[in-house]
């Protein structure tokens, strides 16, 4: 059973608008979350993270929101740019933080 | 600049061949990982290693083995390649302890088994 879920396999957004990527989790022990971005034929790169002691973390155009009671987090990209077109993965460390539990990813297409 | 390198970007092998995928990191990280990525299936962990000569099975270890003789190098071995092992293989590394869990990835190896 998946502990980290990204229920939207794909998302299409117009350039300049907001992109919202969602992630749900089932394990209430998770206390840290990471978002990665992956272009085709490249490895994933770390984008932004959030600790459970916060409900928001912002880095430039990227903001992650965490709702612990709903076990839900979201990544907002404002404004979206064509270069943001990629697959976005949500992940959470398990146990001793060695392993990451990954969502299946959401493919974002930002149209000019 | 931190770096994880993988020996090949693209590889084509025949069914039954023994295949070696090499990964090297220059960050002195204790943990190293091998994943495969397939459409619709996300990143699936094959094996990981938290120290030299130490290894643990991930979610899909069948058909694979690994070797970690030096801290900076982690090898994935397909003893007898099969067509269902055609995939994108990703190596990653991370620091041990201190609450840090960010994994750094290599560029990936696209393996095709004919």
Say how many C-beta atoms besides its own lie within 10 A of residue A66's C-beta: 21
Contact A98 B48 (CB under 8 A): yes
Residues of chain B with pLDDT below 50 are: none
How close, in Å, is residue B90 to chain A by CA atoms? Answer: 7
Q: Which fold has domain B4-98+108-113?
A: Immunoglobulin-like (2.60.40)
Residue B22's beta-bridge partner residues? B75
Spatial neighbors of B63 by CB under 8 A, at least 6 apart, are B78, B79, B80, B82, B85
Going from the N-terminus, what domains does chain A have, and what CATH number goes with each?
4-111 (2.60.40.10)
Q: Is B107 exposed, middle or buried (0-12, 13-18, 19+ CB in 10 A)?
A: middle
Query: Searching chain B, which residue's CA lies closest to the CA of residue A47?
Result: B102
Q: What is the pLDDT of residue B100?
A: 66
| A57-91 confidence digits (pLDDT tens) | 999 999 999 999 999 999 999 999 999 999 999 99
Contact A73, A88 (CB under 8 A): no
Numbered residues of chain A with Cβ closer than 8 Å to any chain B Cβ:
9, 32, 34, 41-46, 49, 89, 93, 97-100, 102-105
pLDDT value for A2: 84
Which tens digits make up the pLDDT trace of B58-80?
Answer: 999 999 999 999 999 999 999 99
In chain A, the largest separation of any two C-alpha atoms, in whole Å, equals 43
Quick check: A52 and A27 in contact, CB under 8 A?
no
The reply to whether residue A44 touches residue B43, judged by beta carbons under 8 angstroms, is: yes
The distance of A30 to chain B (nearest Cα, Å) reads 13
Arithmetic mean of pLDDT over chain A: 94
Q: Which neighbouring-strand residues pair with A13? A: A110
Domains in chain B: boundaries: 4-98+108-113
Three-state SS letters, A20-48? EEEEEECCCCCCEEEEEEECCCCCCEEEE
Helix (H, G, I), strand (E, B), or coil: what is residue A77?
Answer: strand
């Amino acid at each position: 059973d998946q502990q980290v879920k990204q229920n939207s396999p794909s998302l299409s957004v117009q350039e300049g608008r907001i992109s919202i990527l969602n992630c749900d989790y089932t394990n209430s022990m998770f206390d840290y979350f990471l978002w990665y971005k992956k272009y085709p034929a490249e490895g994933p790169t770390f984008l932004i993270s959030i600790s459970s002691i916060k409900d928001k973390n912002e880095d430039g155009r990227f903001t992650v929101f965490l709702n612990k009671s709903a076990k839900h987090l979201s990544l907002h990209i404002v404004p979206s740019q064509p270069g943001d077109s990629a697959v976005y993965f949500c992940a959470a460390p398990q146990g001793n933080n060695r392993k990451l539990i990954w969502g299946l990813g959401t493919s974002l297409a930002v149209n000019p | 600049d931190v770096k994880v390198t993988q020996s090949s970007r693209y590889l084509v092998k025949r069914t039954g061949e023994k295949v070696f995928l090499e990964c090297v990191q220059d960050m002195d990280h204790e943990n190293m990982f091998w994943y495969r990525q397939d459409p619709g299936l996300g990143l699936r962990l094959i094996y990981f290693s938290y120290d030299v000569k130490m290894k643990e099975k991930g979610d899909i270890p069948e058909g694979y083995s690994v070797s970690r003789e030096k801290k900076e190098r982690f090898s994935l071995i397909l003893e007898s390649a099969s067509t269902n092992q055609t995939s994108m293989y990703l190596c990653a590394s991370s620091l041990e302890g201190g609450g840090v869990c960010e994994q750094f990835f290599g560029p990936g190896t696209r393996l095709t088994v004919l």
